Chains A and B, each alone.
Chain A
Amino acid sequence: MAALTPISRKPVSFYVPTVAAGGAVAGMFVGTAQGSTLLGIVGGALIMAAAAYVLTQIIKAETPGRWGLAILCAVAGFALGGLPAGLIGAAFGWFFGWFSFWLYEGRYRAYLAPYLTPGQVLWHYTFRVICGAILVFLITPIIVVMPLSFNAQDFFTFTPEMLRFDPAGYSIKHYEDFFTNSDWQGALANSVKIAPAATLLSVSFGTLAAIGLSQAHVPFRRAIMAILISPMIVPLIISAAGMYFFYSRIGLQGTYLGVVLAHAALGIPFVIITVTATLVGFDNSLTRAAANMGANPVTTFFRVQMPLILPGVISGGLFAFITSFDEVVVVLFVGSAGQKTLPWQMFTGLREQISPTILAVATILVIISIGLLTVVELLRRRSERLRGMSPG
């Protein structure tokens, strides 16, 4: 991207206080970790203000200055809290070195439109910082689980060995436990049996329902739609308790079929919603053209309509699959110990024995979920491209 605005150096009275404010935020975290938040804020502000001034007014060379500050902060961090703190210190130092010069040389305006007021420039960057912070808060709990799953101990604890990056503090024994323990393997087998069967049912019924409900001549379309979508809206515990009593009376409680049917009911709304959305862009004259050329409705569906709405069907199916694969409440009611799924095993494991095997499984599930969602996103893009909604 080419620069839009000529840049000029800024006065000390502007960038030193700004860097100091940034230093105060960083100092707050360091200070809290060391036991005194206030001292951290004040110290961080003073140190970074001084560093910014020295770098820009005395050293003046950006690259050596930036690396110098990074090394200084790394040493300080190492003295305070060992290797991990040293790495964090280095990152802080490198960032503040860059931040000082970025402000000093006015580079922050280079890629913005020249007519923006200072207030608009400030908001431009504040907005991005807020978005980044929200992302960090959403992602951190998931990220924290991953290194913990390699813990050599049987607790959810970052041991001193782990923080020193000592290989003895890490192990893959929890992954081994997952792959060798018959409880976990039984649960995995059940999940792998139940989820695809439930997905198949959801996709078949959901797609048919969506096609039917998209026909203008069907009476009470909205009411039927609302009923079919209701499993998504009604609190799960209520559906689960209702299913428990109903399935008990008709002998489905504690059977695979019962769990599959229950999960299919939960998955159908996802399929209906995604397929209905795809059908909006579907041109009904295509089915009429097919009929005109002698195709019966079944052939028309499989040869004309189905290929065009396939992305919606598949993404709905993936949501249905993840719903069944991650579901714990309904299976606790409708299933019995013979149908124990992975989430159920994780649930009892968390309650009775906090074992990092759960974290290992969680990591594996997160990776599977990321894979599935990536597929959904790629399909969505493909469907947009096919419908001509995006130029890509």
Chain B
Amino acid sequence: MKLTKTLLASTALTVAAGMANADGHMASEMTIVSWGGAYSNSQQQAYHNPYMEKTGVNIINDESSAEAVAKLRAMNEAGNVTWDVVDVVAADAIRLCDEGLAMEIDPDEHLAAAPDGTSAEDDFGDLLVSDCFIPQIVYSTTFGYRTDMVGDTPPTSVCAVFDTEAYPGKRALEKRPINNMEWALLCDGVAKEDVYDVLETDEGQQQALDKLATIKDDVIWWSAGADTPQLLADGEIVMGSTYNGRLFSVIEEQNQPVAMLWDAQVFDLDGWIIPAGLSDERKARALDYIYFATDTQRLADQAKYISYGPARASSAPLVSTHAELGIDMAPHMPTDPNNAKNTFLYNYEFWADYRDDIDAKFQAWLAQ
């Protein structure tokens, strides 16, 4: 009797093990790097949990996206790449791709087609800004303001940031030139379509810094995405720029007296790269994960947990309600027509060419 049981049990185990090994050419553990906080949580719910359930793979989360470029360089130099899939902003992806630290991906070969048969390349469209980059979300950097500190005339234009008479108080801006320079020129009378032409010139850069100088004493400079929400909740600032998902969380989840100022929001992309130099097993696993996690339904699912717009055109109609609050998510998307009346798209080419130069000027100006 006992022997039979043992035999049965061991047979069952062998079968189970064999099934688990059915895709034995893939690694059974992977490290996925992302940003942490609510954003990682949305990926955990929308991608990681279903993928682990489907395949039995163990996913380890590393919250190091902020240092992704530096760390990938160090790993490459040390010949020890420990990450399998990395979540980075598009600008970092372009840099990593240029340096050969990220693997090139063919969208039509490695990514799922849309349910109606549209190829992945057409479904992502213009958002495929680099050969190594699979876009995941569209987010925007925009302003939030304290509704109880702006009186009876809430701001409707981004230029309210530069109007310290109508809206006295501190404002929070990111401690880097990107976005701030564009907003400064826009509010200094430069037409939107001319902004980058002006910013190419030394005089234009000086003009933007001069405009920023008019509010320099009222600015708190932030470097982490969590800073502005904290400052808004404290009432330390009257308005501040940050990522739209952070403001959604402050307004809808934390019920703070804050409202969005969508005017002149700057769209940017965030998505996956696969590091170059993975072993075949790990590469196969990473590609399998990417195929799963960037299909139409998965991208739409992520919007249940965070207010970032899915990068596929075919996902937009599938965006439903918030998983816990039950509110309709579409009006909170940066890409919603009501919010996207006046927008910028992060100018990857311009900033790739001018970033170092303008950054140096900006930091010198800050230190003055």
Residues of A within 8 A of B (CB): 153-157, 183, 244-245, 248-249, 253-254, 336-338, 340, 348-354
**Quick check: B63 and A348 within 8 Å, CB to CB?**
yes
Report A-chain residues with C-beta under 8 Å of the C-beta of B74: 244-245
Chain B 22-66 against A: per-residue CB contact (8 Å), 1 yes, 0 no? Answer: 000000000101011111000000000000000000001111101
**Quick check: A248 and B225 within 8 Å, CB to CB?**
no
**Quick check: B37 and A156 within 8 Å, CB to CB?**
no
Report A-chain residues with C-beta under 8 Å of the C-beta of B60: 336-338
Q: How far is the CA of A244 from the CA of B38 in the complex (A)?
A: 30
Which stretch from B75-83, B127-135, B299-307, B319-327 is at the chain A interface?
B75-83
Beyond A153-B254, A337-B31, A338-B60, whether A354 also contacts B78 by CB under 8 A is no
Residue of A with least CB distance to B246: A353
Residues of B within 8 A of A (CB): 31, 33, 35-39, 60-64, 66, 74-75, 77-80, 82, 224-227, 229-230, 233-234, 254
Question: Which of B33, B37, B63 gathers most chain A CB within 10 Å?
Answer: B63
**Quick check: A254 and B254 within 8 Å, CB to CB?**
no
Q: Please tell me which one of the listed residues B62, B225, B230 contacts residue A155 in the complex, with CB atoms under 8 A apart.
A: B230
Q: How far is the CA of A352 from the CA of B61 in the complex (A)?
A: 14
**Quick check: B226 and A352 within 8 Å, CB to CB?**
yes
**Quick check: A353 and B254 within 8 Å, CB to CB?**
no
Return the 4 tightest CB-CB contacts between A and B, nearest first: A353-B37, A337-B62, A248-B78, A352-B36
Residue of A with least CB distance to B37: A353
**Quick check: B78 and A154 within 8 Å, CB to CB?**
no
**Quick check: A336 and B82 within 8 Å, CB to CB?**
yes
Q: How far is the CA of A154 from the CA of B251 in the complex (A)?
A: 12
Min Cβ gap B182→A in Å is: 25
**Quick check: B254 and A154 within 8 Å, CB to CB?**
yes
**Quick check: B79 and A248 within 8 Å, CB to CB?**
yes
**Quick check: B63 and A352 within 8 Å, CB to CB?**
yes
Min Cβ gap B268→A in Å is: 17
Q: How far is the CA of A351 from the CA of B35 in the complex (A)?
A: 10
Report the tally of A-B residue pairs with Cβ distances under 8 A: 73
**Quick check: A352 and B224 within 8 Å, CB to CB?**
yes
Report A-chain residues with C-beta under 8 Å of the C-beta of B230: 155-157, 354
Report B-chain residues with C-beta under 8 Å of the C-beta of A351: 36, 66, 224, 226
Report B-chain residues with C-beta under 8 Å of the C-beta of A353: 36-38, 226
**Quick check: B226 and A153 within 8 Å, CB to CB?**
no
Q: How far is the CA of A354 from the CA of B226 in the complex (A)?
A: 6
Report A-chain residues with C-beta under 8 Å of the C-beta of B36: 348-349, 351-353
Residue of A with least CB distance to B32: A337
Report B-chain residues with C-beta under 8 Å of the C-beta of A248: 75, 78-80
**Quick check: B78 and A155 within 8 Å, CB to CB?**
no
9 sampled A-B residue pairs with Cβ under 8 A: A153-B233, A183-B61, A244-B74, A248-B75, A249-B80, A337-B64, A338-B60, A340-B62, A348-B63
Residue of A with least CB distance to B77: A245
Q: How far is the CA of A180 from the CA of B293 in the complex (A)?
A: 28
Q: Please tell me which one of the listed residues B35, B66, B80 contacts residue A253 in the complex, with CB atoms under 8 A apart.
A: B80
Report B-chain residues with C-beta under 8 Å of the C-beta of A349: 36-37
Residue of B with least CB distance to A245: B78
Report A-chain residues with C-beta under 8 Å of the C-beta of B62: 336-337, 340
Beyond A337-B31, A352-B63, whether A155 also contacts B224 by CB under 8 A is no
**Quick check: B82 and A352 within 8 Å, CB to CB?**
no
Q: Please tell me which one of the listed residues A155, A244, A253, A340 contacts residue B254 in the complex, with CB atoms under 8 A apart.
A: A155
Q: How far is the CA of A349 from the CA of B64 in the complex (A)?
A: 11
**Quick check: A244 and B35 within 8 Å, CB to CB?**
no
Min Cβ gap A35→B in Å is: 14
Q: How far is the CA of A245 from the CA of B73 in the complex (A)?
A: 12
Residue of A with least CB distance to B33: A337
Q: How far is the CA of A245 from the CA of B37 in the complex (A)?
A: 29
Q: How far is the CA of A42 from the CA of B308 in the complex (A)?
A: 54
Report B-chain residues with C-beta under 8 Å of the C-beta of A157: 230, 233-234
Report B-chain residues with C-beta under 8 Å of the C-beta of A154: 254
Residue of A with least CB distance to B75: A248
Report A-chain residues with C-beta under 8 Å of the C-beta of B79: 248-249
Report A-chain residues with C-beta under 8 Å of the C-beta of B77: 245
**Quick check: A352 and B229 within 8 Å, CB to CB?**
no
Report B-chain residues with C-beta under 8 Å of the C-beta of A245: 74, 77-78
* Given contact pairs A157-B234, A248-B80, A249-B78, a sample of 16 additional A-B residue pairs in the complex whose CB atoms are under 8 Å apart: A183-B61, A244-B74, A245-B78, A249-B79, A254-B82, A336-B62, A336-B82, A337-B33, A337-B61, A338-B31, A340-B62, A350-B224, A351-B224, A352-B35, A353-B36, A353-B38
Report B-chain residues with C-beta under 8 Å of the C-beta of A336: 31, 60, 62, 82
Q: How far is the CA of A183 from the CA of B41 in the complex (A)?
A: 11
Q: How far is the CA of A248 from the CA of B224 in the complex (A)?
A: 30
Q: How far is the CA of A245 from the CA of B78 in the complex (A)?
A: 6
Report A-chain residues with C-beta under 8 Å of the C-beta of B37: 349, 352-353
Q: How far is the CA of A336 from the CA of B81 in the complex (A)?
A: 11
Q: How far is the CA of A150 from the CA of B249 in the complex (A)?
A: 21
Report B-chain residues with C-beta under 8 Å of the C-beta of A153: 233, 254
Report A-chain residues with C-beta under 8 Å of the C-beta of B78: 244-245, 248-249, 253
Residue of A with least CB distance to B66: A351
Min Cβ gap A260→B in Å is: 18
Min Cβ gap A158→B in Å is: 9
Question: Which of A249, A336, A352 gathers most chain B CB within 10 Å?
Answer: A352
Residue of A with least CB distance to B39: A352
Q: How far is the CA of A245 from the CA of B33 in the complex (A)?
A: 20
Min Cβ gap A327→B in Å is: 17
Residue of A with least CB distance to B40: A352
Q: How far is the CA of A182 from the CA of B60 in the complex (A)?
A: 12
Report A-chain residues with C-beta under 8 Å of the C-beta of B226: 350-354
Min Cβ gap B73→A in Å is: 12
Min Cβ gap A190→B in Å is: 12
Q: How far is the CA of A245 from the CA of B80 in the complex (A)?
A: 9
Report A-chain residues with C-beta under 8 Å of the C-beta of B66: 351-352
Min Cβ gap A149→B in Å is: 15
Min Cβ gap A291→B in Å is: 50
Report A-chain residues with C-beta under 8 Å of the C-beta of B33: 337
Residue of B with least CB distance to A336: B82
Q: How far is the CA of A353 from the CA of B254 in the complex (A)?
A: 13
Report A-chain residues with C-beta under 8 Å of the C-beta of B227: 354
Report B-chain residues with C-beta under 8 Å of the C-beta of A155: 229-230, 233-234, 254
